[in-house]
Structures are given as C-alpha cells and as structure tokens.
Amino acid sequence: MARERVVRMDGPVLVFGGPYGNLEATRAVLDEARRRGIPPGRIVCTGDIVAYCADAQGTVAAVRDAGIWAVMGNCEESLAANAEDCGCGYAEGSACDRLASEWYAHAHRTLDVESRQWMGALPRRLTIEIGGRRLAVIHGGTQLINRFVFASTPEPVKRLELAGLAEDGVIAGHSGIPFTEMVAGKLWHNAGAIGMPANDGTPRVWFSLLIPMPEGLRIEHRALAYDHRAAAAKMRAAGLPAGYADALETGRWPSVDVLPPAEIAATGNPIEPGAVLWPNPNGHDVDVRWPAELPAASRARPLDRAKFRDPAITAKGERRATVALAALQTLWFNTGTLCNITCNHCYIESSPRNDRLAYLTLAEMRTYLDEIARDRITTEEIGFTGGEPFMNPDLLPMLEECLERGFRTLVLTNAMRPMQRLKAPLLDLQRRLGDNLTVRVSLDHYTPELHEEERGPDTWQPTVDGFAWLAQNGFTVAVAGRMMWGESETSARQGFAQFFREHGIAIDADDPAALVLFPEMDAAADVPEITDDCWDLLGVSRKSPMCATSRMVVKRKGAAAPAIVACTLLPYDPQFELGATLAAAAGAVPLNHPHCAKFCVLGGGSCSRA
C-alpha cells in the first residue's frame, strides 16, 4: 500500500467546505483567497462540491480549474458512481431525504462524464502539515464519509472518531455549521460551508483561516458575503426545491432533521466571527473552542401543575385526546421490576431492590393467551419486559409457550449475567422455535462511556458480549438505544451503524424496528397537552400511540391477580389500570400523562416492533 502523501503548507491556509453547486459563493471564496494572497496550493476544500444549488457543472469546473486541494465528499462519491441517492446520511423519509432527491436528480442531469471522473478520482483523505502539526483533511468522520459531527456532539463520540488517529487532529466538513474544539488533545475543526448559510438567520457563509504563528496555530472563523440572491434565482429558475433557495436568502435551513437539539435551539441566532489559538506543544494548556459558548438546548420548563389533572379536559378547558384500541396487535407481559442493575433514568425505576411489580408466573400468563384464543383476538406479537426478564424463573417456559402457540415473541434484555447463565436452554429454544423469537438488547449508546454513564460501571462489556453471543448463534437480534445525550437521530443511527459493522453484527441501523431509539422523557418537564384537534395539527395518526395497538399485563406486589395497564411506560399510575381481562381493557385511553405527549405523540416512540 502506498504511503499517504503529506502536503507541507508554510503559510496561511484557507479552508472551506460544501460549495454545494453554488457557483456565486465558490467564486467569492476563491476571490477572497486571491485578495489575501493565498495561493491555490494553500487552499483546501472538504468536499460536497455539488449538492443543493443550481450550478453543479460550473462549480466543479471552478474548483477543478482553481488548482486547489479537495477531498471527496459523499456527493462526489455518489455522483461519480451513478448511485441512486446522494449518500448524505439523511434518515429515510425525512424532509432532508425528500428534498435531496430533487437536487440530486438535477445534478445527475447536468454533470458531464469528465466532471464525474474528476470527482471519482478525488482522495478521501489528505494530510497537511502546518505550524509543526499534521492534520487529516476528511469530509465527514474518520471512518464514515457522511458522518455528522457538530459542536454539541458528545465528547465521547468525538473521542471515538479520533481514536487511533496518527495525526494531531482533523479538518472536517459535511455538517455545515462551523466550530473548533480540542478533544483529548486533538483538534476537530469544521470551517463550515460556503454553499449554504449556517442556519443562523443570515445569508452569510463560512470559511476559515489557519495561520501558523510563533506561539501556535491561529484558527480564524470568517463569514463571507456574496451574491446570494443571484444563486437563489438560479435555483428557482432550475425548478429546485424552494426551501433551499429560500435558505440562501433567509439563512434558515428548510429542515433541521440532521441537527442535534443544541443546534436546533440556535436556529436563527447569528454566529459571530472569531478566532482561537492552538498553542505550540510547549505552551501552556488552554481550552481551544469556538464558539466559546456551545449552543445550549432550550432548558425544559417545569411542568405546569394545572396540566394532566382531568382525564377529560386539559388545563385550557379543551377536550383531551383519547385513543381507542384499534386492534390488540401486541400484548406485553411485565415479568417483574427486579433488575440486576440500577440505571440512572430507568423508565419504570427497575433495580435490584424494586419489587413493586412481582414476578409473573407461567400460569398467569397462560390465562391471557387462552383469552386471546377463546375470543379470537387478532394479537400478532407477545412482548416481555421488566426489570430484567431473564431474572424471572418462569421466563423460558413462558417464551416457549408463546412460540409454540405461533406468536411472534419479543423479549427485552440487557444481555448480561441473568441471560448469559441460560445460554444452553436458550440455544435449545432457538434451535426448536427460534424463527419467531426476537431478542432486543438494551444498548443505550454506541460508546462505552455514555452507555455506562446511564447504566453504571462495568456494564458495557458484559452487554456487548451477550449481544455478540446472540448474534453469532443465529438469534434474531435488535437494539434499543436512548436519545438522551443531545445527538440527532441521524447521528445516533450512524454511530450505531459503525458499531454494528465493527462487531460483525448484521443489523440495519436505519431500520426503526431493528434499532429502536427511544425519545427521552421527564415527567417533571413541561410538555403540551394533546387535544382532539392536535391530531390534524401535528399530522399524527390516532393509531400511532402504543395504547392504540397494545396493552401490558402487570402483577403488583401483594396483589391476588395480575391487572392490565394501557402501555409499558405507565405501570404504576392507577388511572391507566384498565381491568383484569383483555375484554375489560379494550376501552379508550385518555392521554392524561406527560409521557403520552412527550414519548408517544410528539416523540413517536413505541416499544413494539412495528
């Protein structure tokens, strides 16, 4: 394998990302370099030369003919390969995904063969040496070309990206919003994009200057004004999505699907140019970060005490939304709240000492399966949750009973010791009846640090070991993660995808049934109440909440018999206890709890597979 070329740069370097087919902005940044006396050999582009804007062919020609350094972005990769989509990493069906199909088709139509061949020959990575330091120029992440990394991306995620990097840091693009940060002694620098504003409410675009100085490397973030109206007019004339043309003028993106909460909260807040100094290695240790204050997500207000008091009427006097049971597709059994670990934010406060929900028995479960059979209820799936279900001594017989009766069966687990001590009987069950069995492992995050931040020390490796054992032995596996660290769903799915690849586990991270990412809940935080009018206003189906298609059987400590509650999230609230039989529990459920709004209606969360 040929050694990677290192390009030495002995003066100020101009860095920009994302020309995006915006010829006016591309010419403006190249003019800026000439005005500053920066030659082409010290100009670096981090890729995505073609994307949202109208001048795909002209922008490629401008970058190519300028003789500057450029690395391949996901758009170059896709267009050079005649791929079906841009490979941007957008979640399927999201607003960004739908809009991308339009501009990508335009780029396909207008690019010639020579331009595609040039894009396909671009390096995926370039190493530059400046001020005595070596920096890897990449497009998205160090391993994944379309990885989204933002200022608010959790530090453990950035450390994972930088792990094993021989260089002193990276210059990256893709995410479109500029920032500079030191992570574990290495630099992460994003110059921003010049083809689209930074979602800050101004039409300005961004580039950066890296200036070697005796005391260290000065990194300046610079805003650039250009003829954005002309670029927007070209987009409209070409019939491209109006949202992106409008964004050139308003400075606000047409969709924030890819953004984490902190960056969403900063929408429309103008970014101010600034600079940081990365001191020489023998200099004193300082924090290198720009902006100096990271954008903070809006802090949750405390819940208005007038809300969620009356099951029929909201605090504003409006009729509260209710959800009818459309069909009992999934019947959940809570096997008991005892668990081998104590998580910081367990949805139902499971722990080694919480036995508020007692162990359910095989005989008790069988009563409900018999009712399904007798009344010909069209239940397709049986789910088992806890606590840790594998601590229940009847779990394996219960799984076997459900599978023998032909139900799709889902069991949730942390895959630690309680499950692993049952490997032999589990393998036997998998061999005989495993076609309809799915084991969903709770892996809160794809980094050890954040998983253990939630689940406690020494919980990562046992879970990963148990998960890998399941996958290696032919079990159908899924993962449940949490959205509690300020990442966007797109970024979280990318991180899990990389984890699955590294561990050789065949899970599609973009499949919401295979990787379930639960929205976070805080019953003490304010959230809108859901009224009858909200369904149409939000564009949400009345059949989307869990209580439209599922119920859960629980057995309270000291109770003579189990009871049925509306969903998996509310096992203790007496207003959601619906009766002792499935027939009695078939009534409508008033959405009279913050979880109903935050998790189900607004968050789109569901514990079932579909």
326-524+542-584 matches 6-290 in CATH topology: no
- Neighbour tally for 322: CB within 10 Å: 17
Q: Return d(Cα 370, Cα 502) in angstroms, integer.
A: 44
Q: Contact at 8 Å (CB) between 303 and 514? A: no
Q: Name every residue whose Cβ is closer than 8 Å to that of residue 114 and which is 6 or more positions away in sequence.
A: none
Unique residue bearing structure tokens 């300082």: 286
Rounded distance between C-alpha atoms, residue 591 and residue 601, angstroms: 9
Beta bridge partners of 274: 221
**Torsions phi, psi for 506 (to 5 deg):** -85, 75
Name which of 586, 587, 545 is nearest 568 in CA terms: 545
Query: In the numeric block, which tokens belong to residue 526?
Result: 């304010």
CA dist., res. 179 & res. 151, Å (int): 6
Q: Is pLDDT at 570 greater than 80 in this prediction?
A: yes
Rank 293-302, 388-397, 484-493 by mean pLDDT and report only the highest. Answer: 388-397
Q: Which residues contact 224 (CB under 8 A, 6 or more apart)?
A: 25, 28, 29, 32, 194, 204, 205, 206, 207
Q: Domain ranges in the chain?
A: 6-290, 326-524+542-584
Other C-beta atoms lying within 10 Å of the C-beta of residue 344: 10
Residue 3 has a pLDDT of 46
Q: Are 571 and 487 in contact (CB under 8 A)?
A: no
Distance CA 38, CA 34 (A): 6
CATH class of 6-290: alpha beta
Please determine, for residue 203, whether its predicted confidence score (pLDDT) is greater than 70: yes
Looking at CATH, the fold of the domain delimited by 326-524+542-584 is given as TIM Barrel (3.20.20)
Lowest model confidence (mean pLDDT) among 184-198, 268-282, 459-473: 268-282
| Residue 297 pLDDT greater than 50, yes or no | yes
pLDDT recorded at residue 296: 59
Query: pLDDT by residue (tens digit) across 40-92?
Result: 999 999 999 999 999 999 999 999 999 999 999 999 999 999 998 888 877 77
What pLDDT shows up at residue 280? Answer: 87
- Hey, which residues does 193 pair with through a beta bridge? 17
Q: How does pLDDT run across 124-139, given as a tens digit for each residue?
A: 999 999 999 999 999 9
Binning pLDDT at 50, 70 and 90, where does residue 1 land?
very low
Amino acid at 14: L
The DSSP element (H or E) to which 220 belongs, if any, is strand 216-224
Extended beta strands in 261-372, E state: 274-279, 289-290, 322-323, 330-334
Contact predicate 414/479, CB 8 Å? no
- Find the DSSP H helices in 270-386: 362-374
Which helix (H) or strand (E) segment holds residue 236: the answer is: helix 228-237
pLDDT band at 540 (very low <50, low <70, confident <90, very high): confident
Both tokens assigned to 393: 């001594």
Q: How far apart are CA 234 and CA 341, in angstroms?
A: 59
Whether 249 and 232 have beta carbons less than 8 Å apart is answered as yes
The pLDDT value recorded for residue 387 is: 96
CA angle 182, 291, 135 (to 5 degrees): 35
pLDDT tens digits, 406-441? 999 999 999 999 999 999 999 999 999 999 999 999
589-604 average pLDDT score = 86
Per DSSP bridges, beta strands 589-590 and 169-172 are unpaired
Mean local confidence (pLDDT), 514-525: 84
Look at 189-193, 531-535, 576-580 and tell me which has the smallest mean pLDDT.
531-535
User: Which tens digit of pLDDT belongs to each residue from 35-51?
Assistant: 999 999 999 999 999 99
Neighbours of 393 (CB within 10 A): 11
Which amino acid is present at 79? L
Show contacts of 120-126: CB within 8 Å, 24+ apart.
120/72, 120/76, 120/77, 120/80, 120/81, 122/47, 122/70, 122/71, 122/72, 122/76, 123/71, 123/72, 124/71, 124/72, 125/4, 125/71, 126/5, 126/7, 126/44, 126/69, 126/71
**Can you read off the two tokens belonging to residue 167?**
């260089």
Three-class secondary structure of residue 143 per DSSP: coil
Q: What is the CA radius of gyration of the chain?
A: 27
Question: What pLDDT shows up at residue 527?
Answer: 87
Interval 266-290: pLDDT, tens? 999 999 999 999 998 765 556 799 9
* pLDDT average, residue stretch 207-213: 97
Dihedral angle at the C-alpha atoms of 170, 172, 177, 178, nearest 10 degrees?
40
- pLDDT of residue 294 exceeding 70, the answer is no
Question: Looking at residue 139, what is its pLDDT?
Answer: 97
CA dist., res. 534 & res. 514, Å (int): 29
Of 85-94, 147-156, 448-457, 479-488, the poorest mean pLDDT is in 85-94
3-state SS assignment for residue 317: coil
- Residue 584 φ/ψ, nearest 5 degrees: -70, -25
Asked if 590 and 311 count as a contact pair (C-beta separation under 8 A), the reply is yes
The predicted model gives 373-382 an average pLDDT of 97
